[in-house]
Structure 1
Amino acid sequence: MIWTAFLLCALFSRTRTSPTPPPSALTSSPCLISSSGLFADCLGQQLDSVPWHQLPTTLETIDLSYNKLTAIHAEDFSQFPNLRVLLLTFNNISHIDDNAFLHNPILENLNIFNNSLHEIPAKALQPLSNLKILFMSNNLYKSAKLAESFANFAKLQVLSLGGHLVMGLKKGDFEPLRNISLQTFAIRCSSNLSYYERGSLEVIQTKQMGFDMAIDTQPNALLDMLGDLANKSFTDVKFRNLFEFTYYTGVEDIFQGLVNVTAHRLIFYRGKFNENLLRMLQTPIKRLRLQYIDFARSPSFSDSGAESSITDLKLDRLDLWYISNPDILRFDWRFTWLNGIRQLSIQHVYLNFAPCDAWLEMRDVEILDVSNNRLRDEYIYNRRCVYKGTLPNLRTFNLTNNELTSLRDLSSLTRYFNRMVVMDVSNNKLGSAAYSSGCIWHQNITRFIAHHNEFVSEALLCLPTTVEYLDLSYCNLDQLEMTFFEKATNLKELLLSGNKIKYIPPSWKSPSLQSLELDGNSFGVITIDSFQEMPLLSSLKGGNNPYHCTCELHAFVENTMSKEKVNLTDWPWNYHCYHPQPLLNTLISKYFPGRVACDIRLVILICVATTAVVIIILMVICYIFDLPWYTKATYQIIRAKYRAYQESTTEGVVLFTYHAFISYSHSDAEWVKEQLLPALEGSKDPYRLCIHERDFMPGKWIIDNIIENIENSRKVIFVLSRNFVNSEWCNYELYFAQQRAMGKSFTDVILVVKEPINPGSLPNKYCKLRKMLSTKTYLEWPQQVNQQAFFWAQLRSVLGRPSPVRSRSFSLRSLSLRSRLRSEENRPLESNGGLIASEYKMHPQTSYEKNAIYSPEKWLSCCFFSLLHNSMYLASHI
């Protein structure tokens, strides 16, 4: 706003000293040139001349403020034909050449505020027909008279002139401005105005009028000034330091001229005032601002009761800002002067109490602003006051930038403000758990602003649940209280920026929420489910959070962008990856994880397919290597072990009852009975042998008999023949012997080859037997009779000397059963562990085959089943 800029920069600075200039932005050039070549910042570089030879000719704006320039020469700006803005404030310029701006015809904004010019540079300004803004106050000229050339500035909108050496104004000083309609006009005169000629300001046409002059010695000059403004309309009329040194104590009402002036707002900035200031109550002024004034009651003021009360002050707005003496609130003890004000703003007055009567008198106040006053809870909420029926028309209550701590006290204060819909308590100390319980709010509050406080999550339960707009930005919230949002069903806009929220719960329900701001928090994960319970959400601001770039986040972004239901207002530049480390500071818009990593359906499909393939491969392998047979055998071992364990608790386990267990096929039974048994059991030192037809315990399971007798024998003799290989039960006996050998040593196994067998022709399930035949010394039964004695000697040597064995007991009644235990060869095992078909035969001779050659397939097959045997044995023992 032009008037605001004028207030801050041009009109009201009383000092002429420049602040300490900032350090240079460049090392090689005194000015900072924009990349476009349109702006040059030379502010505060201690320059004593314009560095025009170091600046590009394309410049449109040059800032040479706060330097040490003393003169402006013709060549300084001649090479800048496109110059539109020239700032020369706070220098020491005392001279400007007449043709200094001859080559700058499109210059629109010239600021030579606060320099040392001894006269208005009319000739230098004459070429500037496009001038719109001209600040040239705070200089050393003694007269404010404008040259006729100013009549050519038809585009002029803002003009400030004068200085502390201008002792007064004469009629005709501003005649060239008669036909120019200004937006802002400001005049500065001496701190001790000596004269003012009526009609000096009559020709001025402006919307904003500013006076910077002191009339301590000429108070009646105000009557003439206001007379020149009669019947004119202004948006603002501002007086600065109207009474700079003394209070006005005259009898005459010097503000009576305001009756004929239509001004939307009247501002008194600085100066000394007393109760006589309010003699203007009959004026049509709608807004009054008292700013930085020194207020005190006159020594002659006496409180004479109702006659001294002011009851007719009708204002749309009253601003009391930076009052050095809060007595302005006490000049009428009955506060009746407040009962006609609609908007009351009291700022930087630092009140330490709010009288009970004041609340009662503010019956017409609709907007009450008491921000920036260091108010504490006990200052604003007096428990001795009755607030019921007060402020019946209040709609907006502003308490920002104070020292309030209790939400409970605020709810008690405003409980009876029946029409209040907006409350602003930002920049306080609210939100602690100790003072945020038991709150009872009026049900009309729809807008609650509480940013820059210190909220804990429990304090959310102390907020009004009728709000539609809630601002809790920068409140150090670390988590959200979902109970509040479930109750705040009307909430449409929620601001939570700049907090420390670490987690966005997926159960966050807010059915009416339309706009949500979550930027600058501490959460790293949001998913598609995070805002599913907010069906009306259309605007989301969630940047500047430490996001974990995961599939869930990618899915949320993809879903949001594709549906276009929710607008990410700060996308994409404020969304970066924080985790994992390789993606640090990567834009989330450039994060594209693999489809397999994120699509759970695809992962399941791949897993199922892979598992199916593996199962099929395993089934094929099992079929090729006859794994079901080994599984079945292992199951039988485990069952037998379990039954043996149960029986051992009562019967015990008999070990080494036999010197050897004889495993043979039924077809070889004749050789076993006629050759093997007589040779070993009929010798001088007989061996105790176990054969199934004679020594199996009647009544036991066949599998149990096989396992028990193999384990109770020191050695196991296998009578190998083609019939043995084809016998199912011999296969079991061989397998169980192998499992027994794993726990001991393969030296317990004795192989007797009754007839030649090719190891390569054995089935896969005889992998261990093939290996033993290829690498282990075995006995071969000789067909020549003269070699058979040597065979028996070798066998006895392998068996060793007969050691003492435990006695055995069995019933002869079992013989008939045992004779049926091994039936015809190649008969399969019954489901109930049924009969065995096996017979045995034998012949002697040693044979060695240590260099057998196997194909790779047979070798792998052998290794596989060797590993499988070991695993099953360990499993059976565990």
Structure 2
Amino acid sequence: MASPTPQLWLLMFAVVGVQLVGGYSFHNCIAEPHSNRKSFSCKCRRDEHVSAIVNDLPRSVVNLTIIFNPLRRIPNNSFVHLPNLQNLRLDQNQLSDFDSLAFRNLHQLKYLNLSFNHFSELRASLFEDLHNLTDLSLANNKLKKFPEGIFFGVHNLNTLLLRNNCLINFSEIVKSVSHLKKLKTLDLCSNNLTSLHHSNVSLPQSLSMLFLCRNNLHTLGCKLSFLKFVNLLDLSNNLRLHTKAFQGVDLSSLRSLRLKSTKVKIAKFLNISNINAGSVDFSGTGLKTPSHIMELCKILKTRLKRIKHVRLHYNGIKNLTNVKLSHCPKITGFLDLSFNGLKSIECLHFLYNQAGITKFIVEHNHLSSLPYCKKQKMFPFKSLDELNYRYNRIQSVGAWAFIQTPNIRILKLNINTIALLHPKAFLGLKQLELLRLDNNLLTDLYQETFKENVNLKILHLRNNRISVIFKGTFCNLKNLNTLDLGGNKITHFQQSGLDGLKSLSKLYLDGNNLKQIDSSFYYAFQDTLTVLDLASNQIRFFKEKSISPFAKLRKLTDLKLNGQRNYGLTVLPHTLFRGLHSLNSLYLTHNNIVHLPPDAFDDLTGLRFLTLDNCCAGVTQLEPGIFKNLRNLTTLILENMGLQNFSKEVFGNLTQLRVLQMNRNVMQSIPVDALESLPKLNYLDLRNIPLSCTCQNKFLQNYTVNSPNVQVVYLYNLICQQDKRLKFHNFDTKVCYIDLGKYMFFSTAAAVFLFTLIPLLYVKLYWKIKYSYYVFRSWFSDHWSRLREKEENCKYDAFISYNFSDEEWVMNELLPNLEGNGSFFKLCLHHRDFELGRNIVDNIVSAVYSSRKTICVLSRNFLRSEWCSLEIQLASYRLFDEHRDVLLLVVLEPISERQLSSYHRMRKVMLKKTYLQWPGSDCSNPLQAQELFWNKLRRAMKAGSKLEREEDDENKDFET
């Protein structure tokens, strides 16, 4: 085989990628429960591309059903990622085209169904990879021809169905299948074939069944030995096919030949052909009258001593009064007279001398009664095993109606209009095992009705009009295994009405009018009854506490109480299911139970299947522990219950649960811990639940998308209720992973901390913060770099920081001594040198950084001034942070330690710097002290300056 193309590899990687990223859910298919991901169903999807349907399926798929979809074409390599596929259904779609390699890589495929589509032609290489294909159905399409070699690769093909197409050329068909050495069945019914003319190629010798019904054959036109290996040949409903068509054709191998609705004259046909006469189906061959039948019998008798089966359907036989089957060979199998117009069989007298018949079938006729037959002196048909009178118009069955057939085991009288059943109708039928009286008009059953049917095992009485079961009706049916009384009008059982049923295993009472469950009915079945169907009755309970009617049914495995009319059960007693330890399946659907007691299911320890869909009235709140003892439950159906809660307390004990169906409920969220408590869960149906696409379901979204073992049915179609344009599987959950609680805690803690700290900072660091703010603002406005120029380029020698109350001393003492009297210092003063119209803070910052020194004139008023504080803050910043000796302190008046204690920055400066104390008038020699003060201040202003360096250089030169 050719190596995969790049496109094929891309497709394979894409498919593998889907499986690696996703979980166990699929976009358009459902994995059948309990199939271990081997069987998938993809029905009624909207996608028109098969890749969208199957591309996320796993390699493990063995059985795949894709039906009722709008598919029109199957492209190349559509199933290449499913190499283990064995059964593929693509029927009932709208397919009209297949690419050549549509089924590539399906080497294990055995069954392929392409029926009920619209394709008219197929490509020659379509099936070349299907080496193990055994069954292929192309029925109900528009095929007109086959390309040569279309079945070349399917050597194991066993069955080929081509009915209901438009095929014309039989020779072409033969050529296509001639090499199929294992082909056994070829169905060509309902095509447009006119003959069996063919080329030199023959049918495969393995072909045993050939169906050619409903064509336009008027002749066979084939070689005489063409059909010599065929066992079953169906030529029915070829209205133009005549007797001469079989002249000389070898039919010796045929075991069954159907000629219904043809022009073949059966007598003449038997005379000209070599067929075994016992292999012909005489249905629809025009044997209408007794004379025709007797003529046939005589011909058969000349050729056969015994004939196994005689089928005479669709011959229009209306009367058997004068028919003498004694002229026929001995019939050892069945005689089938169905689909005729018979009105009477008159105690089977026409079967005289045919005592070897084992089955007599008269379905779909016009029989109106089965008369009293005891007076008929006729040899009984001891070999007769089955009588079938279904689909007639029988109204009455007389006494001893079956006296001639004492050994029958199966009697079918169903689907008639029997209203009168004589109490002695079944007398003599001691070997009877199966009796079907369903779908009639019976109203009463009596103790004598089944008196002698002691070996009866199955009794069907469904869909009659029985209202009461009288005492002793079934008292002799000790071997009865199945009793079906469903669909009647039974209101009650008389005392001992069910006595005698010592072997009863299955009892069907659904669809009756029972209003209560009498526990006395079931005491007799405590060791035998396994199935009890009480659905669709009128059973109601009015007390939550009552004696369990099922307490003695120790072997009951299936119990149906669903659909009680007219209001449902409404009240479910706590003790209703007490004693049912062996129950496997319980049906409570379609009831209006107001409250599900938390201990209702406590005794159902063996339960495996429980369905509660549509069982409750309105919104339901399941109580914790309601399923606590259902540890063996594997399937739980809770559809449309109005459930509003799903919790671990309710479902946590279902450790064996595999299937959980909860669609059409009202819960908006499902906690993931409850789902994770179900370790065996693999099928979860959440459709039509208004799940909210909020953070409440963020973990549920992750669980449904990534769970490797749980299939969420049609997960990718689940919509968000708030916005139906959004899908549940991918709604945005990023915001959900922000721990809002944590962030709120830290935010609140920070806010409390700040509100506590800010007052302290305001008191302790007010000016430092204010100073820092103004420095930053100046820096941001591009003043910083301009202000921090080199000292030699400073505009002023000193900036004078003082309080306005000390202005007189500054103007009268400081200014004359530093700018006058032979001094050449240039001072910066507020009122004189600040730039008009400029922000005062900017003026202060500019003055500090435009002056080599800052002289702070300290006084008590200075300490209390905000602007003076800012000025000294700026100066001290340059002192401590920039390590520049720019601050000079002049103390005008004594200031105590206590007064300085609250001014930390000022105190720090005074501890680090030596300050000058202005000598007041109280000193002994104020003029001399003041002169010394001014000399020290001038020297301090010169310290570290360019002027000081120039004077030092002059002194050195002088000394030299």
Report if aligned partners of 1:145, 1:173 keep a CA contact under 8 Å in 2. no
| Amino acid aligned to 2:137 | F
In 1, distance between residues paired with 2:276 and 2:296?
26
Q: CA separation in 2, counterparts of 1:306 and 1:134?
A: 41
After superposition, residues 278-317 of structure 1 pair within 5 angstroms as 283=275, 289=281, 293=284, 295=286, 310=301, 312=304, 314-317=306-309
Q: Match of 1:359, as an amino acid?
A: L
Shift of 1:74: 2.7
Structure 1 residue 482 displacement after superposition: 1.5
The 3 A distance-change label for structure 1 pair 259 and 242 is farther
| 1:516-527 → structure 2 map (5 Å cutoff) | 516-520=506-510, 521-527=512-518
Contact 2:355 2:382 survives alignment (8 Å): yes
1:239-294 deviation line (CA, Å, top 9, x unaligned):
1447432442679475xx33345x4x544565444323555998558665456x46
CA 1:133–1:97 in 2, change beyond 3 Å: closer, same or farther? same
Cα 1:301–1:44 change in 2 (3 A) is: farther
Q: Secondary structure at the match of 1:482?
A: coil
Judge conservation of contact 2:325–2:352 (CA < 8 Å) in 1.
no
SS at match of 1:225: coil
What residue identity is the alignment partner of 2:390? T
Instruction: Give the fraction of aligned pairs with identical amino acids, expressed as a percent.
Output: 16
Distance change >3 Å, CA 342–CA 71, structure 1 → 2: same
* Per-residue deviation, residues 676-733 of structure 1 (Å, max 9, x unmatched): xxxxxxxxxxxxxxxxxxxxxxxxxxxxxxxxxxxxxxxxxxxxxxxxxxxxxxxxxx
Give 1:529's aligned amino acid: S
- Please give the secondary structure, in 2, of the residue aligned with 1:558: coil
Correspondence for 1:221: 222
Instruction: Give the deviation of 1:546 after TM superposition.
Output: 4.4
Q: 137-146 or 394-403, which moves further after superposition?
A: 137-146
- 5 Å-filtered alignment, 1:403-418, equals 403-407=393-397, 409=398, 411-418=399-406
Contact 1:198 1:228 in 2 (8 A): no
Whole-angstrom distance in 1 between the partners of 2:568 and 2:490: 17
Change (3 A) 1:327 1:400: closer
Distance 1:440 1:87, change over 3 A: closer
* Alpha-carbon separation, structure 1, partners of 2:439 and 2:361: 18
Superposed CA deviations along residues 503-560 of structure 1, whole A, max 9, x for unmatched, are: 3445343164333404314334445533445686343424325445579964443343
Q: Could you tell me which residue of structure 2 aligns to residue 127 of structure 1?
A: 129
Q: Indicate the residue corresponding to 1:337 in structure 2.
A: 328
Structure 1 CA distance for aligned equivalents of residues 156 and 296 of structure 2 = 55
Deviation at 1:305, TM superposition (A): 11
Partner of 1:74 in structure 2? 76
Give the structure 2 partner of residue 98 of structure 1.
Answer: 100
The match for 1:169 among 148, 168, 171 is 171
What is residue 732 of structure 2 aligned with on the other side?
A: none
Q: Specify which of 471, 487, 492 is matched with residue 503 of structure 1.
A: 492
The residue that corresponds to 2:158 in the other structure is 157
8 Å contact from structure 2 (residues 285, 315) kept in 1:
yes
**What's the offset of the Cα at 1:395?**
2.3
Q: Does 1:423 align with 2:415?
A: no
SS at match of 1:128: coil
Report the AA paired with residue 367 of structure 1: K
**Aligned runs of 1:432-511 on 2, under 5 Å?**
432=420, 436-437=422-423, 439=425, 441-447=427-433, 448-459=435-446, 461-467=448-454, 468-469=456-457, 470-488=459-477, 491=480, 493-507=482-496, 508-510=498-500
User: Relative to 1, partners in 2 of residues 1:222 and 1:462: Cα closer, same or farther, differing over 3 Å?
Assistant: farther
In the alignment, what sits opposite 1:275?
Answer: 266
1:102-161 C-alpha deviation (Å, 9 max, x unpaired): 3655544333346665654231221233433222356666655752x7454354332234
Change (3 A) 1:88 1:249: same
Could you say what the CA RMSD is over the residues aligned between the two structures, in angstroms? Answer: 4.9
Aligned-pair CA distance for 1:376: 0.7
1:546, 1:579 within 8 Å by CA — same for their partners in 2? yes
Q: Structure 1: which amino acid aligns with 2:161?
A: S
Secondary structure in 1 aligned to 2:428? coil
Are 2:348 and 1:360 equivalent residues in the alignment? no
Matched, 1:351 2:342: yes
Structure 1 residue aligned with 2:934: none
Q: Distance in 2 between matches of 1:301 and 1:220?
A: 29
In the TM superposition, 1:24-63 aligns within 5 A as: 39-42=40-43, 49-50=48-49, 52-53=51-52, 57-58=56-57
TM-score by length of 1: 0.51
Q: Cα distance 1:223–1:44, how it changes in 2: closer, same or farther (>3 A)?
A: farther
Distance between the aligned counterparts of 1:272 and 1:331, measured in 2?
26
Which of 387, 390, 395 in structure 2 is aligned with 1:397? 387
Preserved contact between residue 103 and residue 129 of structure 2 (Cα < 8 Å) = yes
The within-5 A match list for 1:562-641 is 564=554, 567-571=555-559, 581-583=570-572, 588=577
Structure 1 residues 483 and 182, CA gap change in structure 2 (3 angstroms)? same
Q: Which has the higher helix share?
A: 1
- Find the counterpart in structure 2 of residue 244 from structure 1: 239
Structure 1 gap ranges (5+): 1-28, 595-878
Query: What is the CA–CA distance in structure 2 between the aligned matches of 1:305 and 1:138, rounded to whole Å?
Result: 37
User: Would the alpha carbon gap of residues 69 and 191 (structure 1) be closer, same or farther in structure 2, given more than 3 Å must change?
Assistant: same
Q: Aligned residue for 1:558?
A: 551
How big is the shift at 1:461? 3.7
Please name the residue that 1:715 is paired with: none
Q: CA deviation at 1:493?
A: 4.3
CA distance in 1 between partners of 2:501 and 2:92 (Å)? 57
Q: Is the contact between residue 362 and residue 390 of structure 1 (CA under 8 Å) also seen in structure 2?
A: no
The Cα of 1:57 is off from its aligned counterpart by 2.0
- Residue 415 of structure 1, CA deviation: 1.9
Per the TM alignment, residue 192 of structure 1 is displaced from its structure 2 partner at its CA by: 0.9
Instruction: Give, in angstroms, the shift of residue 344 of structure 1.
Output: 1.8
Structure 1 residues 127 and 383: CA distance shift in structure 2, 3 A:
closer
Assess if the C-alpha contact under 8 Å between 1:134 and 1:159 holds in 2.
yes
Contact 2:402 2:425 in 1 (8 A): no
Q: Which amino acid aligns with 1:371?
A: E
Shift in Å, 1:416: 2.9
- What is the Cα deviation at residue 80 of structure 1? 6.3
**1:310 Cα deviation (Å)?**
4.2
* Map of 1:762 onto structure 2: none
SS of residue in 1 equivalent to 2:474: helix
Matches within 5 A, 1:379-390: 381=371, 386=376, 388-389=378-379
SS of equivalent residue, structure 2 residue 414: coil
Secondary structure at the residue paired with 2:243? coil
Question: Structure 1 385/274 Cα, relative in aligned 2: closer, same or farther at 3 Å?
Answer: farther
Q: 1:392 to 1:62 in 2, by over 3 A?
A: closer
Contact 2:545/2:574 (<8 A) preserved: no
Q: Report the alpha carbon displacement of residue 370 of structure 1 after superposing the two structures with TM.
A: 1.2
Picking from 251, 255, 258, the partner of 2:251 is 258
Structure 2: tracts of 5 or more residues without a match: 1-25, 579-595, 601-960
Q: Cα gap change, 1:77/1:464 in structure 2, threshold over 3 Å: closer, same or farther? A: same
Q: What does the per-residue CA deviation read over 1:462-496, in whole Å, with 9 as the maximum and x for residues that have no partner?
A: 34532423322332322112133335556554332
Q: Which amino acid aligns with 1:462?
A: T
Matched-pair contact (CA < 8 Å) for 1:43–1:63: no
CA deviations 1:175-234 (Å, max 9, x no partner) are 76354x245333466431161346511x342454434575854346384332244xxxx5
